[in-house]
Chain A
Amino acid sequence: MSLRTLSSRLRVAAQANRTIKSNLILRPGATAWMRSYSTIKKFSKDHEWIQVTEDGVTTFGFTNYGQGKYGDILMVEFQSANKDVKRGDVIGFIGNLKTAPDIMAPVSGRILRLNESLTMTPSVLNSAPETEGWIGQIQMGPEAEKELEEFLEEHEYKKLCDQEDADWRMAMDKKIDPKK
């Protein structure tokens, strides 16, 4: 599905979850900062993308660069437990030929939904990580404003990826020619 369709569906979903939102204690002016983030995609140093709507619902996943580092993703499982998460809480894991890294919540808040279809077609995390391969949606809590400040704009993120590529190439060159 296109990101525009996804965003509009998220808006509908966020409205449906108004009762959840009203239970959160929002600082005055909180909705203002949420509005300033709405529909802009942001990125983290750990190769996650987030997309935030006016109602403070964040959809997130791995970036294309991130999935490339994992190689073929063969398994996805979600923990069924806590709906209220802090940034960094484990919400599931993926499995590939080398390891089984945790999937962690990128922001604090309440999990609205997780993309359960990934457990049946994990390869979508590789083939469409920034669209169909979205991982979950979180209704952001009050701590999220500060957390969002650490996310990068697209051009900053691209710079980071280019730098990682350059670092990797240099490391490879050193391996091949230790004199470098």
Chain B
Amino acid sequence: MLSLGPLQASTTTTSTVPTCPSQIPRPRLPPLPYIYLRNLPYHRGSDLQQFLVDRQIRLRKEREDKRAVGADETQQSADLSEEGSHDLLLIVEHTPTYTNGRRNRGAQAISDQEADRLKKLGATYVESLRGGEITYHGPGQLVAYPILDLKPIKLSVRCYVSYLEKAIIATCAEWGVRAMTTENTGVWLNDQQKIAAIGVHVQRYITSHGLALNCNTDLEYFNQIVACGLSGKETTSLSKELGDPSINVATVIPMFVSGFGKVFERSLVPLEDKDKALEQAVREYCQTGDFSKLKDL
């Protein structure tokens, strides 16, 4: 019985795994809006993303229901090329936070003493539903949360992640830093040094969470943990590799935005230029934790 046929493939070779498309298939999508949010507490970032994902699922369903009622083919492609896309790219710097994955909750959670020790370093400690081991987010780290609908571009999770890796590699290349992928997730300079972490969620084809690229992160926070459960490896940053203290998230963003746009074949526009009301509502939520403006949109 071949219910889980591909499981068997994984124990032999991966030669049958299809390659990812080198180009995003049609239809082409409208410009992708992005917004830069600083000093964002991690939980607020998670709640904002979940809100945006739920909103996108709801808007897509409304669009599909309208179509079912009788719009024709030309209307459908018009939808996608004009107002149809609700994709959004959040670029974020978090306040100092350690996050731990679900395998480490409950019985295997780190001890209370350990959690306290990390908190004494001035960081928040958060356990989440995701897989993976403990990692750090904080100032100096460019965290990107693309909230994208994978359905119209027919991208598998695997290929989506590889596109994120490409976007990071392209950004590092702009700084003259050669980065690559290895058997471990994320983006690396070599077998020992990791420069970016990746961890995605997909709900009804809508992505959230994403990537974290160290620009001038205080790497001492990483020395306190076995990041991503990989001992013997270290975390590095663009600023450390180039010996250039002037590099920070703000200086890296333009290259990241351009690299992301090239890989996903979309132009990127500031959210305030595309939808001022949404931009203001997102900022208000980030400041206050109040969803009311967002709920109206």
Chain A positions near chain B (C-beta within 8 angstroms)? 44-48, 62, 66, 69-72, 74-75, 77, 87-88, 95-104, 106, 119-123, 126-127, 150, 168, 171
Contacts and interface: CB of A to CB of B under 8 A. Distances in A.
A101 B6 contact: yes
Nearest to A120: B203
A96 B10 CA distance: 12
A47 B2 CA distance: 10
B130 A119 contact: no
A99 B204 contact: no
Interface in B237-267: none
B132 A102 contact: no
A95 B202 contact: yes
Interface in B102-155: 102-103, 129-132
Contacts of A97: 157-158, 161, 185
B1 interface: yes
Given A100-B156, A101-B5, A123 B202 contact: no
A38 B170 CA distance: 57
Given A99-B10, A100-B157, A75 B202 contact: yes
Contact of A106 (B3, B6, B201): B3
Interface centre among A44, A62, A72, A101 (most CB of B within 10 A): A72
Interface of B: 1-7, 9-11, 14, 17, 102-103, 129-132, 156-158, 161, 185, 200-205
A168 B12 CA distance: 10
Contact of A44 (B1, B158, B201, B204): B1
Given A95-B156, A101-B7, A119 B2 contact: no
Given A100-B158, A126-B131, A74 B10 contact: no
A126 B132 CA distance: 12
B14 A123 contact: no
| Chain A binding surface SS class | loop
Contact of B158 (A77, A96, A123, A150): A96
Nearest to A151: B1
A91 B14 CA distance: 24
A48 B132 CA distance: 24
A80 B205 CA distance: 15
Contacts of B185: 97
Given A95-B156, A123-B130, 15 more contacts: A44-B3, A74-B157, A75-B203, A75-B205, A88-B1, A88-B3, A95-B202, A97-B161, A98-B10, A99-B10, A99-B158, A101-B6, A102-B6, A119-B203, A121-B203
Nearest to A72: B131
Nearest to B105: A127
Nearest to A119: B204
User: Which 6 A-B residue pairings sit nearest by Cβ, starting from the closest?
Assistant: A95-B157, A72-B131, A101-B6, A75-B202, A46-B4, A104-B3
Contacts of A47: 4, 7
Given A72-B131, A99-B158, A120 B204 contact: yes
Contacts of A66: 4, 7
A70 B161 contact: no
A96 B129 contact: no
A63 B137 CA distance: 34
B102 A48 contact: no
Contacts of B17: 98-99
A126 B11 CA distance: 19
A95 B162 CA distance: 14
Contacts of B204: 77, 119-120
Contacts of B14: 98
9 contacts: A44-B3, A74-B201, A97-B157, A100-B157, A101-B6, A104-B3, A123-B131, A126-B103, A168-B11
Contacts of A69: 7, 10-11
B29 to A, nearest CB: 20
Contacts of B202: 74-75, 95, 122
